Amino acid sequence: MAILKLLLSYLSIHPSPLRNPSTTLHLSQQAPAFLSSSESTKDTQETWLIYEQLLLSCLRTGDDNSARLCLQRLSDRFGVDSARVKALTGLYDEATSNSRGELESVLQRYQDILKEDPTNMPIEKRRISLLLSLGRTEDAIKALTSLLSHSPNDAESWAHLSSLYFTQGLYQQSIFCLEEVLLILPNAYNIFARIGEVTYISASTGGNSTNQTEAFEEAIKYFARSVELSEWYLRGWYGLKLITRKLIQGKPSDGTLGKMESLNQLATEKLVQIVSKFRRNEKGWMGFDESEVLAAKDLIDQDEQKFAR
C-alpha cells in the first residue's frame, strides 16, 4: 500500500511535477521502487495515472530504462493502437533519438499515422511540437491552425497557438487566441493575466503615448479580473502594480490618478504579504515560484527606494 499512496499524495501536493526539475527528479527516483513493487500490477485508474506521470518524469531525467518499462506496461494494458499510448511511444522515441535523421523518421511516422486517422489529436499535437523542436515554426503554426479548425474547443491548443504567435511577435493574434481560451474557460484567471501581459508588452514595444496609455488601462482591466478570480495570484498582482505605477509616473491629467493610486496600494499590500509569508516559510504559502517572489520583492523595493530619495 505504501508506495502507491506515497506517490499519489506527492502528486496531489505537486500537481505538475514537470514544472521544476527537483520535483521531477524526486518522482523519477521513486520509479524503480514502484515498478518492482507488487502494487504496480494493480489495475486501477490511479495506477495508470501514476504510470503516465512516471514515464514523463523518467524521460525528462534521462532514466530511459524505467521509462521503457512504464511504456511497455501501458501498451500491454491499453494496446499499442490506443491514441494516447501511441503519443507516449512517440514521445519516448523523440526523447531517445540522437540525431536529426532519427527525429525526421519519427516525424514521418506521425505523418503516416495521421494519414490513416487524420483526427488523432494526441499524435497531431506530438507532430506539431516535433516540428517546433526541429525549428519549423511556420509549419507548426499551420498544422496547429488546421487542428483548431477541426476541433475548435480544445483550450490547450489555443493556448499553445497563442504562445507560438507570441514568440513570432504577432501580439494581436496571440491575444485573439487567448480570448478564444476565455470563451471556452471563462474562469481561467491565468489566461486573463496573460492577456494583460501580452497587451502590456505589445504596448511597450511600439505605438505612440496616447495609444500606450489606453492599452495600459486595458491591461489593468485584465489583471484586475485575474486577481478577482483568484485572490492570491502573484502574477496578477505583479502586473497590476507594475502598470499602475507606470501610469502614476506618467501623471494622468484626468480623474484616473486616484483610482490608480488605490489599485497600486492594494497590489503592494498583497505582494508584501506574499513575499513576507513566503520568506518566513509559512505553511500554506510555499506554493509560489521562488523566482516570481524575488521579482515581486524587487518591484516593491524599487518603490521604497523612490520614496526614500
**Site residues, other proteins (CB under 8 A):** 13-16, 18-19, 21, 24-25, 28-29, 56, 59-63, 87, 91, 94-95, 121-122, 125, 128-129, 132-133, 155-157, 159-160, 181, 185, 187-191, 194, 228-234, 274, 284-289
The Cα 141–Cα 138 span in angstroms is: 5
Closer residue to other proteins (CB): 10 or 256: 10
Please, what is the minimum distance in Å from the beta carbon of residue 77 to other proteins? Answer: 20
Closer residue to other proteins (CB): 181 or 247: 181
The Cα 222–Cα 229 span in angstroms is: 11
CB 230 within 8 A of CB 217: no
Residue position matching grid coordinates 500490477:
41
Please, what is the minimum distance in Å from the beta carbon of residue 65 to other proteins? Answer: 10
CA distances in angstroms from 251 to 13, 260, 304, listed in the order given:
45, 10, 19
DSSP states along 17-38: TTSSHHHHHHHHHHHHHHHHSG
Please, what is the minimum distance in Å from the beta carbon of residue 159 to other proteins? Answer: 4
Please, what is the minimum distance in Å from the beta carbon of residue 140 to other proteins? Answer: 9
Please, what is the minimum distance in Å from the beta carbon of residue 83 to other proteins? Answer: 11
The Cα 63–Cα 57 span in angstroms is: 8
Alpha helices in the chain (DSSP H): 2-13, 21-36, 45-61, 64-78, 83-96, 100-116, 121-133, 137-150, 155-167, 171-184, 189-205, 209-229, 234-249, 256-279, 290-308
Closer residue to other proteins (CB): 21 or 169: 21
Closer residue to other proteins (CB): 74 or 91: 91
The Cα 64–Cα 61 span in angstroms is: 8
Closer residue to other proteins (CB): 14 or 68: 14
Please, what is the minimum distance in Å from the beta carbon of residue 3 to other proteins? Answer: 19
Please, what is the minimum distance in Å from the beta carbon of residue 196 to other proteins? Answer: 14
Three-state DSSP at 252 gives coil
Closer residue to other proteins (CB): 138 or 214: 138
Closer residue to other proteins (CB): 160 or 245: 160
